[in-house]
């Protein structure tokens, strides 16, 4: 078998697995496995709007703010968020997988950040305090949640009035959600769109809780 056929087969199998995973996730929780965390941690060099530094910059954080890193994974955004809000601020890093939280915690400790609290829970489980956060980020998580409207309703309730939720999606993620889907879901629970960065295949949207 020639090298080009082997490459084509490998691409086809990868696409098939991605499509099957995406559709199965609509019925049950099948989060990005912990052994694939290195892929998430790459901080995709090809997509500006998915880079941690860019996402954090859009939030214009200042010291003392309270931030939720929802579906924090291995903590790619947790450390930069914690630095941006300083010792007077705080970050809650929430994830459904203890293995992801363990990695995020190790990175946070290595960075000397003591202002992060880790919560092992699923979004939509009702574990978040009401009207508590100034900002929340949901970066390539929404498509992994079987009941996204329930999760967004919990995020809406957890933000203070005037608080912002940044939703980030990128086409390289098998669980990619289109701008129209995200906007419709966010509006259905009461969010108002405030800003858009990027393009239809890779973007950050800011939603405000009125
Ligand atoms: C693709 S990773 C993204 C991680 C991180 N946001 C980032 O961009 O680096 C998706 C993460 O969402 C988490 N997740 C999936 N469903 C979740 C849920 N219902 N509640 C909380 N976290 C969830 C997964 O465990 C995984 O760590």
Per-residue DSSP letter, 144 = G
Among protein residues, the one with the nearest Cα to ligand 1's atom 2 is: 73
Among protein residues, the one with the nearest Cα to ligand 1's atom 19 is: 122
pLDDT for 23 equals 67
Q: Ligand 1, residue 122: give the atom nearest the CA.
A: 20
> What pTM was estimated for this model as a whole?
0.92
- Are the C-beta atoms of residues 191 and 208 closer than 8 Å to each other? yes
Return the C-alpha torsion angle 98, 101, 105, 107, nearest 10. Answer: 130
| pLDDT tens track, the chain, 210 positions | 788 887 777 777 667 667 666 767 666 667 888 888 888 888 877 889 999 999 999 999 999 999 999 999 999 999 999 999 999 999 999 999 999 999 999 999 999 999 999 999 999 999 999 999 999 999 999 999 999 999 999 999 999 999 999 999 999 899 999 999 999 999 999 999 999 999 999 999 999 999
Per-residue DSSP letter, 146 = S
> What SS3 string covers 86-130?
CCCCEEEEEECCHHHHHHHHHHHHHCCCCCEEEEECCCCCCCCCC
Among protein residues, the one with the nearest Cα to ligand 1's atom 4 is: 73
Per-residue DSSP letter, 48 = G
With a Cβ cut-off of 6 Å, ligand 1 is lined by: 29, 31-32, 40, 71-73, 76-77, 94-97, 100, 122-123, 139-141, 144-145
Q: Which two tokens stand for residue 65?
A: 């703010």
Residue with tokens 């199965």, as numbered in its chain: 24
pLDDT for 17 equals 66
**DSSP H or E run through 158:** helix 148-158
The whole-angstrom separation of Cα 69 and Cα 73 is 9
Q: Compute the distance from residue 142 Cα to the ligand 1 centre, in Å.
A: 8
Give 31-208's CATH code, choosing from 1.10.443.10, 3.40.640.10, 3.20.20.70, 3.40.50.150. Answer: 3.40.50.150
Q: Compute the distance from residue 138 Cα to the ligand 1 centre, in Å.
A: 8
Q: Compute the distance from residue 3 Cα to the ligand 1 centre, in Å.
A: 35
* Helix 179-188 / helix 148-158 crossing angle, nearest 10 deg: 60
Sequence-ordered list of residues with C-beta below 8 angstroms from that of 202, at least 6 positions apart, any chain: 47, 48, 49, 50, 169, 170, 171
pLDDT for 123 equals 96
pLDDT for 21 equals 64
In a mutational test of the pocket of ligand 1, which residue from 22, 73, 166 has the highest number of ligand atoms less than 8 Å from its CB? 73
């Amino acid at each position: 078998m020639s090298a080009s056929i082997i490459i084509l087969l490998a691409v086809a199998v990868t696409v098939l697995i991605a499509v099957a995973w995406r559709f199965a996730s609509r019925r049950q929780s099948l989060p990005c496995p912990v052994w694939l965390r290195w892929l998430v941690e790459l901080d995709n060099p090809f997509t500006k709007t998915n880079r941690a530094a860019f996402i954090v910059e859009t939030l214009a954080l200042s010291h003392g703010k309270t931030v939720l890193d929802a579906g924090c994974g291995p903590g790619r955004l947790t450390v930069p968020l914690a630095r941006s809000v300083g010792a007077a601020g705080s970050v809650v890093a929430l994830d459904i997988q203890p293995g992801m939280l363990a990695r995020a915690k190790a990175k946070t400790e290595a960075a000397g950040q003591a202002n992060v609290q880790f919560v092992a829970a699923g979004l939509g489980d009702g574990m978040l305090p009401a009207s508590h956060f100034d900002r929340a980020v949901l970066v390539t998580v929404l498509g992994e949640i079987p009941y996204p409207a329930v999760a967004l309703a919990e995020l809406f309730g957890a933000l203070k009035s005037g608080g912002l939720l940044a939703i980030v999606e990128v086409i390289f993620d098998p669980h990619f959600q289109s701008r129209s889907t995200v906007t419709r879901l966010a509006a259905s629970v009461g969010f108002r769109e405030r800003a858009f960065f990027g393009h239809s295949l890779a973007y950050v949207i800011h939603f405000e809780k009125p």
